Amino acid sequence: MLRRRVILAVMGRAPSAEGKTRLLASLPTADGAGLRRALLRDTLDVVGRIEAASKAVLYTPEDAETEFRELVPVGTRLLPQRGRDLGERLHHAFVDLLQGETEAALIIGSDVPTLPPRYVEMGIEALDQRPGHVVLGPSPDGGYYLIGLTRPAPRLFEDIPWGTSGVTERTLERARGLALDVELLPEWYDIDSAGDLEALARGDTAGAAPTATHTRAWLRAAPAEVRRKVIGQAGPGPGGS
């Protein structure tokens, strides 16, 4: 049994707000809010299967609490994101999460509907066994889908080229410079492109059993041109750019 008090947080933008612009630019759809909502609900379903942690959502914009309250399960903490850029928001998120009796916090994005819960559990176990380490879940596009800490580390998030393929590499370099050991989880993909949706649609789950029911339902109900765009992707596997 895990001894540490752990919290798992989803960091996301309200579905009604603009977001996933790169993905939506590649799809002939006007229902961006519907897709964003489906991705968030599926990610929350993944989180709901993790029994070893309490749950939170770090939301933006600051007036979106009511919208999120209607989406999250009862008992989920809602905390507004704070900071000017992603680095500051991540740092402040860990400061806000690692309060009181909480000893470890893990943060994932809101666009990982097929993430195997076992990968998150591995991150929790790593922080329980090696407090003081950083846990990082790399993505094929050079970013990461998960980061976990047992204490805030503001400099870990400074001068990172957010939104590029160098995020994980630069984060690892920064961790080494700060004498922080990093536990790497298995690689997994988030949904950033039509190719990522195609991987979801064809069921690339690496032996896991995520369902992504809301996102799959959105795809089934989407106009034919959207389905053709997604299923017609020629990429060999999950990824994103």
Residue 77 tokens, joined: 């903490």
Would you say 193 and 26 are in contact if contact means Cβ atoms under 8 Å apart?
A: yes
Q: What is the pLDDT of residue 17?
A: 95
Task: Return all residues near 108 (Cβ < 8 A) that are at least 6 apart.
Answer: 8, 9, 10, 11, 43, 47, 115, 120, 137, 145, 146
Confirm or reject CATH 3.90.550.10 for domain 6-231, answering yes or no.
yes
- Whole-structure pTM value: 0.91
Q: Where are the domains of the chain?
A: 6-231
pLDDT along the chain (241 residues), means of 10: 78 94 88 96 96 96 96 95 96 96 96 95 94 94 96 95 95 96 96 88 58 91 90 47 31
Rounded to whole angstroms, the Cα distance separating 57 from 72 reads 8
